[in-house]
Amino acid sequence: MDNSPHGTIIVGVDGSPQSISALRYAATLAAPLGHGLVAFSSWLPRIALEDYTPAWAPEQDARDSLEKSIEEAFGQDVPANLERKVVMGPATPNLIEASRDAAMLVLGTRGRGGFKGMVMGSVSSSLAAHAKCPVLIHHGESASA
C-alpha cells in the first residue's frame, strides 16, 4: 500500500460528512509531508437471514460510495497521490491491520452509525486505543473553511 518514500496517511471513509471532512484535511497533510494518501473503506457481506437479491453487490456499493465521497471532498481536484482501498470486513479490525504500515491514520469524530451527542464514535475510539500508528481524529471544518 505504501508507495511513498515517507509513508502513507490512511483515511477511514464511510460516506459521512465527518469522514469526507477528514479526507479533505488529510490531503492537506499528505503532500507537504511527502506521504501517500489512501481513502480506505470497508464493506460487510449480506447476512443469511436477509432476503436474497441477486443484483445487490455490496463491494461495488462500497466502491461507489467511496468514489462519491472522494468527489464530494475534492470535486475535480482529486489529489494525484490518492489511492483507493476497499476491504471486506468490519471497519475497526481492517483499519487496525492497515495501520501497521501507515505513517498516520485520520478519522472523523463520528461516522454513519454515530449516536447523537457522542463526541467520538466507536470506530474512532477503538482506533485511537489500538491502531499501530499515530491517529488523528479530525473534528470537522470550521464555519470559515
- Distances 13 to 5, 21, 54, 78, 85 between C-alpha atoms, Å: 24, 10, 26, 15, 10
Yes or no: is domain 8-44+56-138 CATH 3.40.50.620? yes
Binned at pLDDT 50, 70 and 90, residue 68 comes out as: very high
For residue 144, pLDDT beyond 50: no
Q: Enter the C-alpha cell of residue 115.
A: 449516536
The tens digit of pLDDT for each residue in 124-133 reads 888 989 999 9
The tens digit of pLDDT for each residue in 97-138 reads 999 999 999 999 865 444 344 444 578 888 989 999 999 999
**CA–CA dist 92, 95 (Å, integer):** 5
Whether the model clears a pTM of 0.85, i.e. scores above it, the answer is no
Domain boundaries, the chain: 8-44+56-138
Q: What radius of gyration do the chain's Cα atoms show? A: 15
> What's the mean pLDDT in 32-45?
94
**CA–CA dist 143, 145 (Å, integer):** 6
pLDDT of residue 140: 77
For residue 37, pLDDT beyond 80: yes
pLDDT of residue 107: 94
Burial bucket for residue 119 (CB in 10 Å: 0-12, 13-18, 19+): exposed
